[in-house]
Amino acid sequence: MKYFPDFLRPERLTSLAQTALDNGGDYLVYVMDASLRSSWNHALEYAVFEANRLGRSLVVVYNLDEKQPFMNTRKLHFIQRALKNVGEQLRKRGILFLVRKTESLLKLVNEAVSVIVDAGYTRHQQTFRKTLAKHCHSVTMVEGDVIVPVKTASNRAEPYARTIRPKLLNRLTDFLETVPAIPVKQASADLDIEGLRYETFYDLSKDFGSIEFVEPVKHVVGGEDEAQKRLETFVKERLDRYAAERSDPGSDSCSELSPYLRYGMISPVQVLKHVFEYRRRGDVNVESLINELVVWRELARNAEVYNPFFERYEGLPEWARETLGIHARDHRDYVYSLGELERAETHDVYWNAAQRELLMTGKIHNYMRMYWCKKLLEWTDSPETAYRYAVYLNNKYGLDAEDPNSYLGIGWCFGAFDRPFTESSIYGKVRRMTAESLKRKKLIKTYLQRWSAPAGI
Ligand SMILES: Cc1cc2nc3c(=O)[nH]c(=O)nc-3n(C[C@H](O)[C@H](O)[C@H](O)COP(=O)(O)OP(=O)(O)OC[C@H]3O[C@@H](n4cnc5c(N)ncnc54)[C@H](O)[C@@H]3O)c2cc1C
């Protein structure tokens, strides 16, 4: 028999391992991996519910994953404050919060009565969940970082946004549940479990001797409180301009939530519910946001689950690889090295501005990101190299990166989820983008001025 708290739809739960009912252990573990937050966290509340039901206490362990691709000091800096935040909030609820590297985490969870983990969709995150399932006798995965659980939305790899859109929109209201904080019956905060508690874990980078140094983005502060502030400002001050201005790189009409969504410092369910407190469905700005936050974002998760090659060049549609292959030897006016690109040293002021934005803020405006990525096709010796450089630069510097959206965005620039266009040099049938389209943007000069200063890496 299955038990669910009232707020939680069973479609959000997947059993990854179930070999014994109860091993007699003292506590349950929620492995916090993709949802670094203490509120609006489906997995956390399900874990509290289960601990109460089984008369055990709950321990939350954050998976500090040093083997995560592109982990570096920039990302550590961003998550460090968020960890402290979560630790403090959980302590108030009587829940012990530990931060563990993956290897020692796996030893700890072995002794738990049962393990709950949030859902993560990148290849690396999927592998971690498989490993967890091998180590524990009972593992339940809870999908709380999407509106509609991936396999509920669709049972196949969706080729286009237009094919997944009706499937997601039809189920949207079913999955906009409020996630309450369930009172904890048996506290664990004082349990004596050896490990790194958040209070003693102030400088994460010290613990990562060999981690790559990438300059942290000091003004982008991690944490769920910061994410809430951003959401509030966006909804109150910018949402009414979102549809009209979101594709103008000089405008500040976007939410700037992507780094927070990337690490699960905010729940997309809460974002949407909050938006609905101010504006209704049908409002042009709300529909435009739903198109990005739900349709495109969840299309990326669909691709991760159903396309095993999604994160690789081989995962692009066949027509795109074929046409790019035919044009691989076309003449290029400029070929830049990775270092020149990294330092924003091209002849193109727009591209350099976008690269500087990435270096200085950890993200690029969506419209510029498309231009930035497509130009790599023109300035590298092959489409495969262009793809590799795009992944490297995006994921090394992006605070929102190494996310399914990273591979969706890059893939789109190489023809994925798009249709063939009239054939042209280098791009073949893949859609081109030129600086002419940028010059037509009302606020492009503002964008250039903002990012014209040397990046200084
Ligand atoms: C080459 C390329 C690389 C990209 N790499 C990333 C990445 O590493 N991480 C990342 O989160 N997004 C990436 N995107 C998608 C998009 O550029 C960012 O999500 C968006 O710019 C984030 O800004 P925002 O939070 O202000 O977005 P908003 O416009 O406010 O949108 C709200 C949220 O919706 C989601 N979203 C918005 N646009 C898209 C989109 N086109 N596809 C999927 N989800 C979207 C994001 O989670 C975003 O935070 C990439 C796009 C391209 C073309």
Would you state the pLDDT for residue 66? Answer: 84
In the chain, the domains with their CATH numbers are: 313-450 (1.10.579.10)
Which of 397-415 are b and which e, b meaning 16 or more Cβ less than 10 Å from the residue's Cβ? bbbbbbbbbbbbbbbbbbb
Residue 394 CA, closest ligand 1 atom number: 8
The beta strands (E) that lie in 308-409 are given as none
Would you state the pLDDT for residue 211? Answer: 87
Ligand 1 in contact with 253 (CB < 6 A)?
no
Ligand 1 in contact with 410 (CB < 6 A)?
yes
> Which residues, including other chains, have CB under 8 Å from residue 304's CB and lie 6 or more apart?
121, 122, 123, 126, 310, 311, 404, 407
From first to last of its 457 residues, what are the pLDDT tens digits of the chain?
Answer: 567 888 999 999 999 998 766 777 889 999 999 999 999 999 999 999 999 999 999 999 999 988 899 999 999 999 999 999 999 999 999 999 998 889 889 888 888 999 999 999 999 999 999 999 998 889 999 999 999 999 999 999 999 999 999 999 999 999 999 999 999 999 988 777 765 555 545 466 666 667 899 999 999 999 999 999 999 999 999 999 999 999 999 999 999 999 999 999 999 999 999 999 999 999 999 999 999 999 999 999 999 999 999 999 999 999 999 999 999 999 999 999 999 999 999 999 999 999 999 999 999 999 999 999 999 999 999 999 999 999 999 999 999 999 999 999 999 999 999 999 999 999 999 999 999 999 998 889 999 999 987 654 4
How far away, in angstroms, is 188 Cα from ligand 1 center?
Answer: 38
Ligand 1 in contact with 247 (CB < 6 A)?
no
Determine the Cα–Cα distance for residues 414 and 432; give it in Å rounded to an integer.
Answer: 10
Q: Which two tokens stand for residue 393?
A: 């630069």
Would you state the pLDDT for residue 455? Answer: 53
Ligand 1 in contact with 297 (CB < 6 A)?
yes
- Is pTM beyond 0.85? Reply is yes
Say how many CA atoms lie within 13 Å of 73 toward its Cβ.
14
Q: Which residue puts its alpha carbon closest to atom 32 of ligand 1?
A: 293
